[in-house]
Amino acid sequence: MLKIGFIVNPGFQIMSLTAMTVFEFANYAGKKPVYNVQLLSEHGGPVVNSLGFSMETKALGSFAFDTFIVAGPPVPDVVPPGVLAFLGNAAKKVRRIASICTGAFALAEAGVLDGRRVTTHWVVAREMAQRYPAVKVEEDRIYIADGNVWTSAGMTAGLDLALAMLEDDCGVQIARQVARSLVMYHRRAGGQSQFSSLLEVAPKSDRIQRALTHARQNLKSVLSIEELAYVANISPRQFSRLFHAETGHTPAKAVENLRLEAARLMMEEGNHPIELIARETGFADRERMRRAFIRAFGQPPQTVKRGARDAEEA
């Protein structure tokens, strides 16, 4: 049986522990239990989380675990020296060591992430890069596995990380079965973006939201201002003015961002030819998509596609 230790410090965010459920349900999915999951802290006993109530833990000390996963607090916080020392030693002794969200700061402070490709929540990713220059922070990733060190983005990304670990341990079928039990998509690809173009645009009115939804559902179309304005039931001139006022973007830029997001997702979720991706996402031709990718990501589609594949295989 594989022992999974979730390490918490005072003030940890309880949502970090949702990843435990993946391992719990894996025990139900097979003929016999696969995992022994334990909640650990520096001294054991009750540890108060960020909501103010305590959870019972066992004390750190034993390295007889397959995997340690460090839960994160709502914002990066000071980690007890004893925990840092334990993490530094544990990284050399266990098969996997991981973090969820801001838990990556504990691993970085312990020196575990030096020279590694890692991710964390995008809100604090740049802070991590500044505080730990030896760490290779990739802020736009759901999770990354670099050797025996695994890191994930925001709290819900811990579920994707746990499902990827389960797939690594028990195979894709068990992982899919657990994902279905949790009413989840199998799992998001590790290289998938943390961001959503619709979330960034965030319109205030239903009219602009309707136009954006229409655009996203019809990316293969030309999507002229006139068409979007018709969906919003206002004049093209009024639509352009209102759209920019509510979103800070021109309609053309917002549509391009939606196409970029859809194209990148196709690259992450399948091995589709570049020409097909360009066609399906409304860029019409490969060259037009290449120029848009360079503007947005500083890289052509082939490089982005290769990076997503490499992140998935790492």
Calculate the dihedral angle through the C-alpha atoms of 90, 92, 98, 99, rounding to the nearest 10 degrees: 60
Tokens found for residue 100: 């969820």
Higher per-residue pLDDT: 73 or 205: 73
Output the average pLDDT for the chain. 89
Residue 157's alpha-carbon distances to 112, 150, 243, in angstroms, are 20, 12, 32
The whole-number pLDDT of residue 26 equals 96
Q: Classify strands 136-137 and 117-118 as parallel, antiparallel or unpaired.
A: parallel
Name all domains of the chain by residue range, CATH numbers in brackets. Answer: 2-181 (3.40.50.880), 197-313 (1.10.10.60)
Model confidence band, residue 314 (pLDDT cutoffs 50, 70, 90): very low
Please name the amino acid found at residue 153.
A
Report the run of H or E that residue 145 belongs to, with start and end.
strand 143-146
Kindly report the CA angle at 233 between 228 and 238, in degrees rounded to 5?
75
The predicted-structure confidence for 208-228, as pLDDT tens digits, reads as follows 989 988 998 899 999 999 999
57-60, Cβ contacts within 8 angstroms, sequence gap of 24 or more: 57/8, 60/7, 60/86
Flag whether pLDDT at 111 surpasses 90: yes
Residue 313: which pLDDT band, with cuts at 50, 70 and 90? low
φ, ψ at 118 (rounded to 5°)? -140, 165
